[in-house]
Amino acid sequence: MEGINTEEIHCQGCGVLIQTENQNEAGFAPKSALDREVVICKRCFRLKHYNEVQDVALTDDDFLKMISQIRHNQGLIIKLVDIFDFNGSFISGLQRLTGTNPIILVGNKVDLLPKSTNKNKLKQWLQMSAKELGLPVQDVFLISAYKGVGMERLKTAMEQYRKRKDVYVVGSTNVGKSTFINQLINQSTGVNDAITTSYFPGTTLGFIEIPLDDKSSLFDTPGVINRTQVAHYISDEDLKVITPKKEIKPRVFQLNEKQTLFFGGLARIDFEQGLRQSFVCYFSNELTIHRTKLDNADELYRNHVGEMLKPPNQDTIAKLPPLRAHNFRVKGKTDIVFPGLGWVTLPDGEATITAHSPEGVPVSIRSSLI
């Protein structure tokens, strides 16, 4: 393809600048496609030929510029978050960008939670957490985009809240937004030609437009990169290990004070002080949990990270930030949450603990959801 300057080629579907280097970024097209009279990016190709939406990542600036256009329109915002990574998948400042439009919060991947999870408590926690982060929401729904769980109830509510106006779906990368949109497409229309791309002036990538009726449409917006997601610091291979694929099975460890649990080599929890008690761990069933004495923990990590304590693999080690400590004094039934990984429940009494996570991926606590 020598002699062809891709800088001058824009996708005929969504307007994005065509590039041939990175399949996961906006505007990708194989070099062979540049010979065609009409050049479209991979995202538009999949939409046109397979009725399938693929998510692409936008930089923060591009995303903010695009989403801020919504405030000039009237419609319903559906904000999709990952139940296992609420903070990492939350887009801050969303209400400022979307004006007075109503917002529904949708927690994805509910099918992976243990059956003992209190769904009402989870919904209350999601609503309260969003409000604390400056986003009052009209309602909260729990779904599995992959399995279609909860989609009918959400669709009914969507029709009530939108009042025949447009709907905008927003979310960060790795939240399952493409799967969610594809579920809606399958349930809303089977006609490829009814789905189009649309891009606002001054933006670099289109919204996917799915007609809902003769006056309104559902728009999928490209996913924003949120740097507090642990997914951005690990390899694709490790991401498969830490991402639950089926219902999480709790693993229980009885710890005395001055003992440590390692979650692979990506996080750890030190039981600094307290009576012997249970630490109930809710992580991907494939993630190895290793117990050791607190006195030995630092040396064990130095000598065995990437081997006994795995993941991370070598690709992840090359880009993983150092682990940083977060100190907590807990009382009552409490969850210690490692964003993007899982959480540990302390069902008994009082404890002083230190939780370690990659720098930039903050640990938090909440009342137990189980």
Reported as a single tens digit per residue, the pLDDT across 244-254 is 989 999 999 99
**210 within domain boundaries:** no
Cβ partners under 8 Å of residue 303, min gap 6: none
**Residue 7 reports pLDDT greater than 60:** no
Reported as a single tens digit per residue, the pLDDT across 58-92 is 666 776 777 777 777 889 999 999 998 888 888 87
Q: How far apart are CA 328 and CA 331, in angstroms?
A: 10
Are both 240 and 219 inside the same structural domain? no
Mean pLDDT (whole number) for 253-265: 97
Q: Is residue 160 very low, low, confident or very high in pLDDT (cuts 50, 70, 90)?
A: very high
**191 within domain boundaries:** no
User: CATH number for the domain including 105?
Assistant: 3.40.50.300
**351 within domain boundaries:** yes
Structural domain including 102 reads 57-175+215-226
Cβ partners under 8 Å of residue 128, min gap 6: none
Are both 259 and 122 inside the same structural domain? no
Reported as a single tens digit per residue, the pLDDT across 306-362 is 999 999 999 999 999 999 999 999 999 999 999 889 999 999 878 999 999 999 998
CA 314 to chain CA centroid, Å, is 24
**Backbone φ and ψ of 321, nearest 5°:** -65, 160
Which pLDDT score is estimated for 84?
87
Q: Is residue 200 very low, low, confident or very high in pLDDT (cuts 50, 70, 90)?
A: low
Which pLDDT score is estimated for 69?
74
Reported as a single tens digit per residue, the pLDDT across 211-231 is 888 888 888 877 777 777 888
Are both 236 and 360 inside the same structural domain? yes
**170 within domain boundaries:** yes
Which pLDDT score is estimated for 269?
98
Percent of the chain at pLDDT > 90 equals 53
Confidence (pTM): 0.82
Which pLDDT score is estimated for 270?
98
Which pLDDT score is estimated for 188?
62
Which pLDDT score is estimated for 50?
74
**201 within domain boundaries:** no
Quick one: tokens of 346?
A: 């302390």
The runs of H, that is alpha helices, within the chain are: 42-50, 60-67, 94-98, 119-132, 151-162, 177-188, 236-242, 294-304, 314-317
Are both 258 and 361 inside the same structural domain? yes
Task: Compute the mean pLDDT over every residue in the chain, rounded to the nearest whole number.
Answer: 86
**Residue 193 reports pLDDT greater than 50:** no
Three-state secondary structure call for residue 114 = coil
Q: How far apart are CA 237 and CA 251, in angstroms?
A: 23
- Please answer whether residues 344 and 255 qualify as being in contact, where contact means their C-beta atoms are separated by less than 8 angstroms: no
Q: Which residue has the higher pLDDT, 45 or 189?
A: 45
Three-state secondary structure call for residue 106 = strand
Q: Which residue has the higher pLDDT, 87 or 284?
A: 284
Mean pLDDT (whole number) for 11-22: 83
Q: Is residue 9 very low, low, confident or very high in pLDDT (cuts 50, 70, 90)?
A: confident
Are both 156 and 252 inside the same structural domain? no
Among residues 276, 269, 275, the alpha carbon closest in space to that of 291 is found at 269
Are both 137 and 74 inside the same structural domain? yes
Instruction: Give 183-213 as a DSSP string.
Output: HHHHHH---GGG-EEE--TT-SSPEEEEE-S
Are both 115 and 252 inside the same structural domain? no
**197 within domain boundaries:** no
CA 2 to chain CA centroid, Å, is 39
Percent of the chain at pLDDT > 70 equals 90
Cβ partners under 8 Å of residue 69, min gap 6: 200, 203
Among residues 297, 69, 21, the alpha carbon closest in space to that of 204 is found at 69
Mean pLDDT (whole number) for 243-267: 96
Are both 244 and 354 inside the same structural domain? yes
Are both 251 and 156 inside the same structural domain? no
CA terminus-to-terminus distance, the chain: 57
* DSSP β-bridge partners for residue 223: 57
Are both 46 and 151 inside the same structural domain? no
Mean pLDDT (whole number) for 231-235: 88
Are both 94 and 163 inside the same structural domain? yes
Domain count, the chain: 3
**190 within domain boundaries:** no
Are both 265 and 354 inside the same structural domain? yes
From 17, 35, 50, give the residue that closes a domain. 50
**135 within domain boundaries:** yes
